[in-house]
Structure 1
């Protein structure tokens, strides 16, 4: 095991955690991420356990490493791009656990979309949810405590991402996610019974010099799930509760009927030109409302932003496009609608969500100016 020197005082070791059933796939990833080592599940006969394998992977760092990158065996990444982001993330957040993937229908995935709309390059992870472990960097100095934390539960808990999140909360260690995700989740079939989940916001890393921003945790998070638009509202105790988009808008001073009228007018034009796909109106209403809320919250100052450089960059159009694409797929999961409905409808869906985001952004900006004038 050899560590890769990234910068003065920073050395990174890399492992791929795997199960023997995926040996060839893990070897391919390790070769692409050289000098990476494959660490396999030590129990070849029992039920596959990500947590059991993760403990061995976490411990398998090089002696000289300051940080340790653990990849799962069902990801794909560009080595140079990922290591560039890892280097930058460690420089900015040396004591944090860093993640470079979030599932599209998770709260962390929703946070990535909102952070991208606010122009952020990194975001705090949602602490009450699992910490995504497809590609995670651990400061080596935390690994012994992490493994000790796991020991009392290792015999009966299986999910490494949930236990890692518990550890971060217990020891108040920051969990930071890159915006966008920098690895792809390969659909190779789950060994643990989890349904395959795509990434929330796949894109390219913004190189140093463009300026960077960290998005802090919000108390309202737009969330599209099972065909219904919501806002997840975080209380003072840190717990989240689900608000229907109508209730969320009313609480923000937005007339939901006006928003619905804007969508109706938009759909009327597309229907008249014959460009409207067969997606149900109710699905499109929730999609529109969620994108509208993302734009509103991003423009109204409700996303805490911390500049990390001298010249913060602008909102990236490519990341917004990725956000809208994943938002529609997130909302489709758990419904009876066929996923193929979005294949031919993607141009329409992208245009609709972009228009909703722009309308929400304009409304949020107006409210922000009014609140500033009254302050």
Structure 2
């Protein structure tokens, strides 16, 4: 799953925050076709379906999405991902999209088998157990170093790859939260001695930190409203590392051109900010 896809990347990050090993995906976006696993009969049917498409049609991921949607086959992404595009040129001619790294890449140590078998109740709550349903009413974006909200409208012919969102401070009230509450929490955290980078550039860093805090707080808030009360699972025990990986990729994908000069220490400090913001948003969402 590409780290900056408009809606599915948010769903993967939300699953990571919830400690779920699988993330149900929306039907509005392309299927992640870099690695796809289907039951053998469906795989053969998909092969026949794609064989009838002219070779000049490039968007096989959109065709796979349509195939699955028409047959009621839910699309889910593994959290963490098992594959990544890497930095090599695209064999499909998609270099104009820029880097297409994964949302959550796996830890160096292999995950135990029970990790993938856990959190079945959580996946059910994320609406993927029995039938294909929409599972997204808002997506939080971090783009051009700003936190934005995206409100998908079911049944509308809205191009899903448009880059536009609504600025969080103006529209977060629709989610039942006040922008002042989020800003105040950010200012309390950013005012602590350990919250800033050890290197220079504090002005730009503080600006990005507030926006990244808002994006991550809203991610946590949304996840908190969907979390259950079950005990610890094999998946939840790996949650902290996977959440940090998900936030690091979000930051790298969403930094504006003018903020690319932030060094490694400054970026690591921003991920610390995001991690704290997710925890704060989760607590608020649970409440």
Q: TM-score, normalised by structure 1?
A: 0.61
Q: Is the 8 A contact 1:114 1:221 kept in 2?
A: no
Q: Is the 8 A contact 1:121 1:178 kept in 2?
A: yes
Alpha-carbon spacing, 1:184–1:340, altered in 2? closer, same or farther (3 Å): farther
User: 2:3 matched to which residue of 1?
Assistant: 104
3-state SS in 1 of match to 2:141: strand
- Aligned to 1:196, which of 91, 96, 99? 99
User: 2:54 matched to which residue of 1?
Assistant: 154
After superposition, what is the alpha-carbon deviation per residue over 1:75-132, rounded to whole angstroms, capped at 9, x for unaligned? xxxxxxxxxxxxxxxxxxxxxxxxxxx1111132221111111121101122211111
3-state SS in 2 of match to 1:172: coil
- Aligned to 1:355, which of 272, 276, 279? 276
Alpha-carbon spacing, 1:235–1:163, altered in 2? closer, same or farther (3 Å): same
After superposition, what is the alpha-carbon deviation per residue over 1:288-343, rounded to whole angstroms, capped at 9, x for unaligned? 11100111111122x6x7x9xx95743611111111111111211xx323535252
- Aligned to 2:67, which of 167, 189, 202? 167
After superposition, what is the alpha-carbon deviation per residue over 1:129-174, rounded to whole angstroms, capped at 9, x for unaligned? 1111222213221234324433554243112222211221222222
Q: Does 1:225 align with 2:143?
A: yes
User: 1:253 matched to which residue of 2?
Assistant: 176
After superposition, what is the alpha-carbon deviation per residue over 1:227-259, rounded to whole angstroms, capped at 9, x for unaligned? 221232233427678433224421122110121
- Aligned to 2:236, which of 291, 302, 314? 314
The count of aligned residue pairs is 259
* Structure 1, gaps ≥5 residues long: 1-101, 367-375
Shift of 1:276: 6.6
Q: Would you tell me which structure has more strand in proportion to its own residues?
A: 1
C-alpha RMSD of the superposition: 3.0
| Higher relative contact order (CA closer than 8 Å, sequence separation 6+) | 2
3-state SS in 2 of match to 1:269: coil
Q: Does 1:346 align with 2:267?
A: yes
Shift of 1:345: 1.4
Q: Is the 8 A contact 2:196 2:269 kept in 1?
A: no
Alpha-carbon distance in 2 for matches of 1:297, 1:344: 29
Deviates more, 1:156-165 or 1:277-286: 277-286
Alpha-carbon distance in 1 for matches of 2:141, 2:193: 26
Q: TM-score, normalised by structure 2?
A: 0.78
Shift of 1:349: 1.1
After superposition, what is the alpha-carbon deviation per residue over 1:247-277, rounded to whole angstroms, capped at 9, x for unaligned? 4421122110121122233333359977475
Shift of 1:283: 2.6
